[in-house]
């Protein structure tokens, strides 16, 4: 096999940010770890963002990924909620970048298509396929499963780039 590459996938959110770490060795994918960060909703926005930053820094320090992949924001009708999600997404982008990791971004439908085969798959389908693709994984939450899906999507895109 080639050199194993460790990838952290991040599904950003202000209430819940999922993270998942996988390893790609040739065509083989392995589950390393996953989890979720839930900043204290009683705290100010700034304090919750610091909590999210600290938690993601700890995950990156613990699992030492080589690359990061972050799910893009789904823009909804509520501009205020979208803006707050954007803050969490900025933290998810900047933390790995500050550690020198290349950071890729993927739209939700691209992630679903890479993992399930359909861009409009339901959350349950994504979770089932993550468990199928990573048999040793038991995602802690749907947010962690989504983060693992983002990492899997990145691994698939890496394989295509390497072939080209």
* Residues acting as catalytic residues: 11, 71, 143
Start-to-end C-alpha separation, the chain: 19
Cα–Cα distance for residue pair 136/130, rounded to 1 Å? 10
Residue 73: closest CA among 34, 129, 111: 111
Strand partners, 6: 23
Strand partners, 69: 9, 104
């Amino acid at each position: 096999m080639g050199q194993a590459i460790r990838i952290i996938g991040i599904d950003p959110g202000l209430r819940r940010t999922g993270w998942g770490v996988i390893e790609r060795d040739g065509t083989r994918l392995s589950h390393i770890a996953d989890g979720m960060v839930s900043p204290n909703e009683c705290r100010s926005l700034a304090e919750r963002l610091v909590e999210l930053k600290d938690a993601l820094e700890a995950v990156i320090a613990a699992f030492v990924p080589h690359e990061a992949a972050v799910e893009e924001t789904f823009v909804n009708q509520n501009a205020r909620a979208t803006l707050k999600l954007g803050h969490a997404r900025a933290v998810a982008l900047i933390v790995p970048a500050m550690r020198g990791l290349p950071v890729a971004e993927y739209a939700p439908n691209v992630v679903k298509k890479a993992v399930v085969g359909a861009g409009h798959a339901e959350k349950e389908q994504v979770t089932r396929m993550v468990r199928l693709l990573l048999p040793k994984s038991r995602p802690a939450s749907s947010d962690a499963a989504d983060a693992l899906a983002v990492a899997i999507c990145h691994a698939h895109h890496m394989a295509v780039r390497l072939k080209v």
